[in-house]
Amino acid sequence: MDYTEAKHRIGQLKAILWENSRKYYVENAPTMSDYEYDQLMHELEDLEREYPELATPDSPTRRVGSDLETASEGGFAKYPHRYPMLSLANTYSIEEVEEFAERAAKSLDRPFTWCCELKFDGTAICLTYRNGRLFRALTRGDGVQGDDVTANALRIANIPHRLQGSGYPEEFEIRGEVLMPYESFDRLNHEREVAEEALFANPRNAASGSLKLQDPEEVGRRGLFCTLYHIPTGQVDFPTHDQALQAAESWGLPVSHERRLCGSIQEIEAFIAHWDSARKDLPFATDGIVIKINEMAFQQQLGYTAKSPRWAVAYKFKAEQACTPILSIDYQVGRTGAVTPVANLEPVLLSGTMVKRATLVNEDQIRALDIHEGDWVYVEKGGEIIPKITGVEESRREPGARQPVFPQHCPDCGTPLVREEGEAKWFCPNSKGCPTQLKGRLEHFVSRKAMNILCGEATIEQLFQLNLLRRPSDFYALKAWQLVPLEGWKERAAARFLESVQASLAVPFERVLFAIGIRFVGETTARDVARHFGSMEALAAASKEELLAVPDVGDVIADSIFRFFRDPENLAELEALKAAGLRFSTENPASVADGPLSGKTIVISGNFSISRDEMKALIEQYGGKNSSSVSGKTDYLLAGTKPGPEKIRKAQELGIAIIDEDALHALIGAPAQADASPTLFEPTLF
Query: For residue 126, what are the contacts with CB-CB under 8 A and spacing of at least 6?
Result: 81, 85, 137, 138, 139, 140, 146, 173, 174, 175
Q: Which helix (H) or strand (E) holds 105?
A: helix 94-108
Q: Calculate the CA dihedral of residues 206, 19, 144, 93 and round it to 10 degrees.
A: 80
CB 608 within 8 A of CB 583: no
Report the candidate in 104, 146, 110, 111 with the shortest Cα–Cα distance to residue 128: 146
- Give one DSSP letter per residue of 298-339, joined into a string: HHHHH-B-SSSBTTEEEEEPPPPEEEEEEEEEEEEE-TTSEE
* Residues annotated as catalytic (active site), given as ranges: 119
Q: Is 58 exposed, middle or buried (0-12, 13-18, 19+ CB in 10 A)?
A: exposed
Measured CA to CA, the distance from residue 45 to residue 50 in angstroms comes to: 9
Measured CA to CA, the distance from residue 331 to residue 351 in angstroms comes to: 26
What's phi and psi for 116, nearest 5 deg? Answer: -105, 135
C-alpha separations of 180 from 159, 201, 256, 356 in Å: 14, 13, 15, 22
Measured CA to CA, the distance from residue 104 to residue 587 in angstroms comes to: 55
Would you call 231 helix, strand, or coil by DSSP?
Answer: coil
Strand partners, 259: 117
Measured CA to CA, the distance from residue 548 to residue 559 in angstroms comes to: 9
